Amino acid sequence: MDRTRDEPQQPRGIRKRLYQWAGQAVNRLPDTNMGPATLSPASHQTDIASTQKPTHHDDGNGVSNSPTIPDPCRLWVKASPLPIDTAPALVNTSSTTTACKPYPPSIGIVCVDSIGDVHSATTYVKRDLGFQGQLGQYVLLSYGDTLYSDANYSDTWRGMTSDSVAIATQNPLVVVDPVLDSQGYPPQFCPLISSFGEDAATCALGITNVVETATPNEGVMFFLLNHRPNGTNNLVGAGVASITLDTSAYPPVPEIRRLPPQYWWDATCEPWYGDVGALRWNEYVYAYGHGPQGNPWVYLTRVRADEATNVSCYEYWNGETWQNDRLDGKTIGEKESVFWQVNQGQVVWSNYFGCFLFVYCDNWMNSKVLLKTAQRPEGPWSDPITLYQATPITPASSIYAAVPHPYFDETGKTLVVTFTNHPNTVQAVRVVFA
């Protein structure tokens, strides 16, 4: 596999041993509260946003716009929202989980608090998306276009990559980029392969969340190959990459390998599986994807987690049952679909409501964060309700790619949601349910 730009910088020597010691120290703190305090309706406005967000300095004009990178030692202790001894199991095999909760749920919203903008603690970048997935005790965040910036987050061109990955911390506003290039910026995560004629000048890879498979710290990621010369999108195909999380040093380093051939599903005549997110539920990995160009529907495939790297093992939802034959993008329509006219989002399980939640933005450019519910990954899905009405940064623009982050409150009573406010500003809110 080809390498792009500079070789990523890994800790060596004393620095590596220090990182390893820090990681071990974190793992020896199972009783530490690694997540934000549970919020009550009376106290929801006092949270980590006011106590832990990066400090800023005044630019001389009364504008505070230059975040300073937090002390790395503090980040070592706050590496992940999931302490090793209390991390929840990814696979829910309890048949009583849904039995004790009535469906459909009554969803009431006490309030939605704006937390702030999400930034990296280890570099200066602007980016979008931020889908969440878990490997072992760590939550990985998958980003799209990542533009290299400076301490003021200016628009001066410094370069970019079409995707990157970071590690979540217990603060929704702070992420850690585990690997940086020689210039101090995150390199391309899901790689372009020159032997297929892919290059950074004309090609990009859209990635969605990591999904753990059958072995701890191992998983898969779905990607969508885009040929976009002169900024014109020509979607080529969707595929799968295998992910391994190396925890021998700190921060842990995710390693990726695209699985041959170049892509698995032809984007011109098959759904783009994974581009609307993926889900691990019981023994299966589920991947949601838009239909071929011009098709407003979203379709679903699944595979046993231990067979996720074998394309021949995937099954496809046809609207009534699962079938082995791949869906024909030229003939499928509403019957085979699970969603309609959605932008991007993610499906998660809610312990509070006892059902699946699909948090997303639609295609109507209305800057709404929406929610649907279902008892099974394939649905049927409910009509949407509005979780939050955002305000665009840019007039006549909109937000997109709403992502739920349930690991900040496993009870589900509150839910952190991030979304991208165009252009390339990831923002976070916290929803408090009744």
* Residues ≥6 apart with Cβ < 8 Å to 307: 313
List the structure tokens of 261: 């051939």
Length of the chain: 434
Using an 8 Å Cβ cutoff, are 280 and 212 in contact? yes
DSSP 1-60: ----SSPPBPP-HHHHHHHHHHHHHHHT-TTS--SPPPPPTTTTTSSHHHHTSPPEEE-S
pLDDT digits (tens, 9 = 90+) for 87-128: 444 433 333 344 478 999 999 999 999 999 999 999 999 999
Using an 8 Å Cβ cutoff, are 241 and 223 in contact? yes
Using an 8 Å Cβ cutoff, are 218 and 241 in contact? no
**Residue 345: per-residue pLDDT:** 97
User: Does residue 70 register a pLDDT over 90?
Assistant: no
* Residues ≥6 apart with Cβ < 8 Å to 419: 361, 369, 390, 399, 400, 401, 402, 403, 426, 427, 429
Residue 428 lies in a domain: no
Nearest in space to 426 (alpha carbons), one of 223, 172, 198, 201: 172
Name the domain count of the chain. Answer: 1
Nearest in space to 28 (alpha carbons), one of 89, 88, 87, 83: 83
**Residue 101: per-residue pLDDT:** 87
Residue 326 lies in a domain: yes
Number of neighbouring beta carbons within 10 Å of residue 44 = 16
Residue 98 lies in a domain: yes
* Residues ≥6 apart with Cβ < 8 Å to 106: none
Structural domain containing residue 196:
13-104+121-346
pTM over 0.85: no
Residue 358 lies in a domain: no
**Residue 78: per-residue pLDDT:** 54
pLDDT digits (tens, 9 = 90+) for 10-63: 444 443 443 444 444 433 333 333 333 232 233 333 233 332 333 333 333 333
**Residue 36: per-residue pLDDT:** 30
Identity of residue 417: V
DSSP 106-158: ---EEEEEEEEE-EESSS-EEEEEEEEEEETTEEEEEEEEEEE--TT------
Task: Please report which confidence band the pLDDT of residue 86 belongs to, taking 50, 70 and 90 as the band edges.
Answer: very low
With tokens 């992420």, the residue in question is 175
Residue 341 parent element (H or E): none
Average pLDDT over residues 123-142: 96
Q: Cα 431–342–232 angle (5° rounding)? A: 120
What SS3 string covers 395-410? Answer: CCCCEEEEEEEHHHCC
Residue 74 parent element (H or E): helix 72-77
Residue 380 lies in a domain: no
Percent of the chain at pLDDT exceeding 70: 77
Residue 434 lies in a domain: no
Residue 81 lies in a domain: yes
Give the lowest-confidence range in 23-27, 146-150, 332-336, 430-434. 23-27
